[in-house]
């Protein structure tokens, strides 16, 4: 399990969020938050539930008592009209190795497709701004 200060940095960077934004969220300065991420200051207890809710993880995960990343309620989240995260994971694990690989490939291809359309929309917005 990673130390809290490393975990805080990794979660923030994974989401491309600035130290300033997290500092504002928890009611401190960017300089103070930087000290939390460097392990130079201890994170106040009052901040744990704020960060746990923001990152959608359990406080137990943040303090190293639980190895899983997600809160238990996240596993019950409905991701389609008929399936929860838990049901999808259960279905995935019931497949053979080739089936699981096919699902992972389909997810990857869908991510590429969505990124392509996001980039295309961004480019169109940029063109509209230049012509306005």
CA dist 98 and 102 (Å) reads 6
State the CB neighbour count (10 A cutoff) for residue 57: 19
CA 112/CA 102 separation, integer angstroms: 15
Q: What is the pLDDT along the chain (132 residues), one digit of tens a residue?
A: 678 999 999 999 989 999 999 999 999 999 999 999 999 999 999 999 999 999 988 888 888 776 555 445 566 778 888 888 888 888 898 999 999 999 999 999 999 999 999 998 888 888 777 776
Q: What per-residue confidence (pLDDT) applies to 67? A: 53
Cross-strand pairs, 84: 78
Residue 126 Cα to chain centre, angstroms:
28
């Amino acid at each position: 399990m990673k130390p809290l200060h490393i975990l805080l940095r990794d979660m923030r960077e994974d989401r491309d969020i600035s130290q300033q934004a997290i500092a504002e969220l928890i009611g401190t300065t960017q300089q103070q938050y930087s000290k939390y991420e460097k392990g130079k200051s201890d994170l106040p207890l009052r901040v744990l539930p704020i960060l746990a809710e923001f990152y959608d993880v359990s406080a137990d995960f943040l303090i190293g008592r639980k190895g899983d990343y997600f809160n238990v309620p996240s596993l019950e989240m409905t991701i389609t009209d008929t399936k929860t995260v838990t049901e999808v994971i259960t279905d995935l694990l019931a497949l053979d190795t080739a089936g699981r690989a096919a699902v992972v490939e389909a997810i990857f291809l869908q991510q590429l497709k969505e990124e392509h359309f996001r980039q295309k929309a961004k480019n169109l917005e940029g063109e509209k701004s230049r012509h306005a």
